[in-house]
Amino acid sequence: MSYLMGIDVGTTGTRCIIVDQEGHVIAGATGDHAPISSPQPLWAEQDPEDWWKATTTAIRQALALAHIDGAAIQGIGLSGQMHGVVLLDKDHKVLRPSLIWCDQRSQAQCDWIHQKVGYERTIQLTCNPALTGFSAPKLLWVRDNEPEVFAKAHTFLLPKDYIRFRLTGTFASEVSDASGTTLFDVANRRWSVEMFKELDLDPGLVPPVYESPIASAHISDIAARETGLKPGTPVVGGGGDQAAGGVGNGIVQPGIVSSTIGTSGVVFAFSEKPVLDPKGRVHTFCHAVPGKWHIMGVTQGAGLSLRWFRDNFGNVEMQTAFLTGGDSYDLLNKEAARAPAGSEGLIFLPYMMGERTPHLDPNAKGVFFGLTGRHQRFHVIRAILEGVAYSLRDSFEIFKEMGVPVRQVRASGGGGRSELWRQIQADVFGREIVTINATEGPAYGVALLAGVGTGVWASVEEACQATIRVVTRQKPIKANAATYDTFYPTYRALYGALKPHFDRVTELVI
């Protein structure tokens, strides 16, 4: 029997899963990454070699757990964290650590792009404004601040595409991940000649782009020896983690939307055409479904906020989980459930890594507002869960302005596994939240794409229809929804009141 493999190069680790041709996950393994390096405030870097080591570990472990060898893998799909910049020299050696998606150092380069190209024209050319999280501003930061490094740059790759190169020896990308570079003509699904010209960047830096299910490379002999895979196994284009997660969640038709809480949080909607937000608050990217697009709003510090609390104030939960074999996040959720909806007026702004939707502000900071002597630890934990849900609601409000239909919301990611966090989302959004049988997100999505690319299914839509179904439903609790509707306007007003102070604090610490 033949199987499909999905590989997702995430922020904290690389996940590899093996799927049979009916869509069942038969094995999965994760190779851990070293913690994000932050040499200065707003900086976030990782070593691409670390991704490769994690990938080889995950592949070998997944094959062992599935009790199969690499020859049984019919096709492979790749996903990964978007926007990261990997620079290679002419000998294909990495020149510096990758500036990853949450790196916020390039505001000056974003401002320069908008001045040089024009804010509205940048959106017209790429469907999005230039943001610090995106790739082109990072490239320009290297050019401006490390000219000796940039002078040696021969190739720019996104994280998953660097892993593709290590697996296959081939330089290639695909339309969904390329959409987040500020160098891609999203509407026409090709690199933007105009943006390269305006920014004085060499188009030769970037690889060819393909539609996501297309087999764009094959496993090399060298990689086969390192991973246990079979030489010549096809590797499809795959997708950026959000588009791949969209496929893995079955977001391949209008009206079905996902709310994903991982390190970041994403509200993701399918679109038949490239619909734009003229204010640039949400992103319009190519979908991993050929000829389709997606619209998404992003909360930079979603699950990251809860992890920050756990790592700094959750020693009891972590020790208990270690001793019992439980999950520290489950224990935090039980603690949060002790607090009522609204956390008795304690409101959390989850801007711990700046913010994208709706503020596009790298200087935004995390805030607890309304703290009183009555509040206890469980209020603080619940306020974090609620603050992330408020931030995700901002995206739904923008979708409403844009006329994007929403008839079903599918919860996924680590936050989607929490019954409490799902209920908070249902109450804050005022919508039913469902979960599906597929829980592997991006890795599952690219495994399905590999199946389409190798003929298991005729289309991405057919693959999702054959494998994905709803398994749980949670409706809003009316009293809780009313409470959140009361507090949400205050949540929204806090950013405007604090923005000048966010900017000033940034000036003081940098």
What span, in angstroms and rounded, lies between the C-alpha atoms of 462 and 460?
Answer: 5
Cα of 169 vs its chain's centroid, Å:
25
List phi, psi (to 5°) of 215. Answer: -75, 110
Indicate the burial class of 148 (C-beta count within 10 angstroms; 0-12, 13-18, 19 or more): exposed
d(CA 81, CA 84): 7
Are the C-beta atoms of residues 16 and 58 closer than 8 Å to each other?
A: yes
Tokens read off for 389: 């849900």
What DSSP state is assigned to residue 195? H
Q: Are 114 and 87 in contact (CB under 8 A)?
A: no
Beta strands 347-349; 406-412: pairing state: unpaired
Do 327 and 321 form a contact (C-beta atoms < 8 A)?
A: yes
Q: Which residues pair with 470 in a beta bridge?
A: 436
Contact 257, 406 (CB under 8 A): yes
Which conformational region is residue 291 in: left (phi greater than 0), alpha (psi within -120 to 50 degrees), or beta? left
CA triplet 54, 57, 61: central angle to 5 degrees? 140
**At which residue do the structure tokens 């060819």 appear?**
208
CA dist., res. 455 & res. 3, Å (int): 12
Spot the catalytic one: 161, 177, 241, 394.
241
Q: How far is CA 394 from each of CA 125, 159, 442, rounded to the nearest angstrom? A: 25, 29, 24
Catalytic, 503? Answer no
Are 138 and 82 spatial neighbours (Cβ–Cβ below 8 Å)? no
Alpha helices in 67-106 (DSSP H): none
* 73-80 and 45-46 beta bridge pairing: unpaired
Q: Which helix (H) or strand (E) holds 467?
A: helix 460-467
Residue with tokens 């294909």: 92
Main-chain dihedrals φ then ψ at residue 450, nearest 5 degrees: -65, -35
Residue matched to tokens 């690389």: 14
Q: Enumerate the active-site residues.
A: 241
